[in-house]
Every structure is written in structure tokens, then in C-alpha cells.
Chains A and B, each alone.
Chain A
Amino acid sequence: MRRYGDFDTAEDAVQEALLAAATRWPQDGVPEEPRGWLVQTASRRLIDQWRSERSRRDREALASRQEPPAHEVYGEDDTLTVLFMCCHPALTPASAIALTLRAVGGLTTAEIASAFLVDEGTMAQRISRAKRTIEASGEPFRPPSPEERPARVRLVLHVLYLIFNEGYTSTAGAELHRAELSDEAIRMARLTHRVLPDDGEVAGLLALMLLIDARRLARTTADGELVPLAEQDRTLWNSAQIAEGTAILDDAMGKPPLGEYRIQAAIAAVHDRAERAEDTDWTQILGLYELLEQLTDNPVVTLNRAVAVAMAEAPEAGLLVLASVDERLAGHYRLDAVRAHMLEMTGDTEGAFLHYRAAASRTTSLPERRYLSMKAAALRQGGTEPPAAA
């Protein structure tokens, strides 16, 4: 669009380019510069289209005026535009994720399918459908207008966070491609940060990803079993990445208004700063959760604040905070898990056992279920009650 200024034609060309990418990359392999290639292909197809529409004289006149710009000059801005398009409000999160990974991430359909545990055909359908949805929306290939921009940036950040989360929460035994997802999310967040350096939440998300990803190796055992934060071997944390994330966060804090990603990143930074679990500054974490709670009306934030209260003050105080979200989080396994932990801290082993068992039966995560079952079993050691099934 920047080169040709023809909205409709540019939009068609990008659609075709995305389609070309989808069909050629599996055969030809991903080009070294997928982003540049995408825009180049779009440009080529535009030229093809015009060749069939104009007279030879017009074509020659047009071609002589065009000069292919250097990759570095336009690559990132146009990639960001493609990213905005992929994170279209009409798409479901799953569709936006798949399309983003395909068009911006440069992953093959097979790689994306493998990461999301579906077969290639299913994933190909999702991506096609996503493209058709964008086509049907009539969205031209251009960056969002100043009015649209904040909402669209939020969408991009959300999709990138979901991709990161998908990669980060996969277990150690999973496919290599799932770790690649977190890396891909970080790469795209870096790109977004480079193009939008004044957006504090973009920087906040990048910092959050770096600070959380830094703990990756310590988070699971080789068998994919869960290692909670308090028990992690912190020598396995990536200190260089922690330093980088902290620096980006510090810089971003100076760009009001403060948002959720930066506060979450700050909480992660406080955890990452502690050499041992017992050195964690829970008072500061508590303050940050209080801030986050003011920004979002989210009971899970209150749940996490309850944990901070239990650690900074006393478990009894934490239990009081929990009571305030009993209704809103009823039946959610994490409420039982957190309550169980706090009851264990107060010495109520019977109550803790019941809630660990309830949490184990309600979680949909296998590693979590094993962890919670073992916690319940440990409390029952020597008792007559059999441990919960793993």
C-alpha cells in the first residue's frame, strides 16, 4: 500500500500473498526473510495484475517510476500492518493465533498443527477460514487509524500473549515446536516494540514474556512434572534474560498510563529478583496485586492477592481474602488449590487434604492433577484414607 497507494488492489494482493505463502512455504521451505518475502510477493502480484489491465505504454511508465526499497526500510512497518490484520477483531483467538503464526511467525502449517495437537488438515482449514473472514470484512491493507489503534494494539498484545502462554505451559516432554511458540511470541513482541517504542504496554508485554520465559528450564522436570515457583532450582533461571526484561520494564514504567502487562511484569520481576524463594519481597508483590486489582475487576487477581497476603502477613489473613471470591470462583480448581495451601500453612491438614483432592478432581491439566494428588497423598501419609487417583 505504501508503494502503490491503491487500497483495494493492495488488499487483494496481500490476500494472494498470504495464500501464496500458505501453499509455497510447505513445498519450498520458509524463505530466509519471510516478512520481506510476503511484501515482495504482494508487490509482484500487484504488478502482474496491472500488467493485464494497462497498455504497454502505461506499464512502462509505471515500472520506471518504481524502485524496490531496501528490506530494512519497509520490512518491519509492513510486518506490523500484517500483524494488525491477523489480529482482526472478527477472528476468534484461535484463528488469530493460527493466522499470525502462519503469516508473521513464518511457521509451516504442519508446525503450527503439531504445536496445537491437531492434524495438518484441521489447522489448514482454520487458517483458510481466518483469511476468508478477513476478506469478508473488507479490511484494506493499511495500519489502523489513530482512533482504532489502541484497541487493535490491545488485540495484537493479547494474541501474542496467548501464543507465548501456549508455548510456555506445554510440558517438557512435548514437541520441540511448543518451545518454539514462546520464542516466536517473544520475537514478534520484540518487533512490535521496535516499531512502537513509545507504547508502554507493548514494552510491558515483552518484559513480562522475557521475565517468565527466563524460568522455563526450572519449571518442569524432565518427565514434564510441575515444579512450583517456591521449589524451583533458581540456578537454572536465565539471568541475562531477567536483566534484559527488567531493563525494558524499568524504561517502560516511565510511560503512563500504567497497564496490566507492566504490572504483571513487575510482579514477575520481583519474583525473579529473589535469590531464594524465602528472599521474595511479598510485600511489594502484594502492593502490585492491589494496583492490578484496581485496574481489573478480575477475581483471579484477588486470588493471587490472597496468596500474597498469606505470604506477606499470615495464612489466616489470606483465607479471609479468599472468602471474598468464594462465590465468583466457585468450582474453579485454583480456588481449592490455594485454599488447600493456606490451610496447610495453618496446620489444618484435614481441611487441606479435602481441598487438594477437590482441586485434583476439577483441574483439566494432567501435570496439575498429578501435583495436587501427590500433595493430598503426602498429607495422608500413614492414614487409612487412600490417596486420590493420579
Chain B
Amino acid sequence: MARYLMGVNFESGVVDTPMEEWKPGEIQAHLDYYRALSQELRESGELVQSEILTGPDLAKIVTSDGTTPVVTDGPFQEFKEWLAGFQVFDVESEERALEIAARLSAVPGPDGVPTQQPIQVRRVMDDRIDDAEGMHEYLETAAGKR
């Protein structure tokens, strides 16, 4: 089992119109899709954490040399690159992680067309020591079982 973080930014995929311009039914369908997918992945025991982040307006940058910290607004990266939200999954394999990411990406937009929003997939580092002498973990991946 390995954990993967999946992040979504404000890149729109193939849908150019902002959500404020969608029809209410389309927004509902979009949210329902996420809701159903989250439910399914919670029930499978794979969804560990799900967060939607507040926007750049509330963001801060803090730097400190150990004395008084300096707090500014920012960072001032392009709006599209802002992390909008993330989910953490605990899955059997990278293949499964990518499968979930694909379903996240296919969330519907206007006219029910899949948005193809880019999903960034990051493997979470393990606190565990890799088993140096044992090989069964690798045996599984090598044989394509995971």
C-alpha cells in the first residue's frame, strides 16, 4: 500500500468558461460527480483525506531568521498555478492511483463534457525503512501483480 497526493489547481483543462458562467444544472452535475466518486473511494477504504483550500486572497508568505517573522501577501504566481485542493489516497499500486486520477480528471463541465482537468499525482514518502533483505514487495511489483 502506498499513499498518493492528488492535487488540482485552477487550470481548466479543455473547458474555457469559468464555472460562474455554467448553467446551474451543469454545476450540480459537476459537484454530484465529485460527491459520488468520493463516496465510492471512501467506502473502498482508499480515500484518506480530502481538502479544498481557500484562495490566493487569504494566502500568506512567512519568512523568518529566528527573530521577528516577516509576513506578506502571496505568493504571486499565476492564478492558474494555485493549488485549489488536494486528496490523499492509500492504494495498492501506482496503477490504481493513476486510475483514480483519471476519474478525477474526467469530471463533467458544460454540456456534460469531461473537463480533462490536469491532476498532479505525488507519491507520499514513507516513514518506513525499505526491507533490504526481503524481496516480496518487489516480487509483487516485478511480476506485475500490483
Partner-A contacts on B (CB < 8 A): 1-3, 42-48, 90, 92, 123, 125-140, 142, 146
Q: Indicate whether A366 reaches chain B with its CB closer than 8 angstroms.
A: yes
Since A168-B131, A369-B125 are in contact, a sample of 20 more A-B pairs with Cβ atoms closer than 8 Å, ordered by chain A residue number, is A93-B140, A116-B90, A117-B90, A118-B48, A119-B48, A121-B42, A122-B48, A126-B44, A129-B45, A165-B134, A165-B137, A169-B130, A170-B127, A229-B132, A267-B133, A298-B139, A363-B130, A364-B125, A364-B126, A365-B129
Question: Can you report 7 residue pairs joining A to B where beta carbons are below 8 Å apart?
Answer: A93-B140, A162-B136, A165-B134, A169-B128, A171-B129, A220-B129, A304-B133
Q: Indicate whether A144 reaches chain B with its CB closer than 8 angstroms.
A: no
Measured between beta carbons, the chain A residues less than 8 angstroms from B130 are 169, 334, 363-365, 368
Known: A122-B48, A300-B142. A169 touches B43 (CB 8 A): no
A122 touching B45 by the CB < 8 A rule?
yes
Render A276-302 as a binary contact track against B, CB cut-off 8 A, 1 for contact: 000000000000000000001011110
Across the interface, B127 reaches (CB within 8 A) one of A92, A298, A367, namely: A367
B128 touching A170 by the CB < 8 A rule?
yes
Which residues 120-149 in A have Cβ within 8 Å of B in the complex?
121-123, 125-126, 129
Which residues 81-130 in A have Cβ within 8 Å of B in the complex?
92-94, 116-119, 121-123, 125-126, 129
Measured between beta carbons, the chain B residues less than 8 angstroms from A264 are 133-134
Measured between beta carbons, the chain A residues less than 8 angstroms from B3 are 117
A118 touching B90 by the CB < 8 A rule?
yes
Chain A interface, number of residues (Cβ within 8 angstroms):
50
Known: A94-B92, A122-B47. A171 touches B135 (CB 8 A): no
Q: Indicate whether A240 reaches chain B with its CB closer than 8 angstroms.
A: no
B45 touching A158 by the CB < 8 A rule?
no
CA separation between A118 and B89, bound complex, in Å?
Answer: 10
Known: A125-B42, A129-B44, A267-B133. A365 touches B128 (CB 8 A): yes
Across the interface, B45 reaches (CB within 8 A) one of A93, A123, A226, namely: A123
CA separation between A53 and B44, bound complex, in Å?
Answer: 36
Q: Indicate whether A224 reaches chain B with its CB closer than 8 angstroms.
A: yes
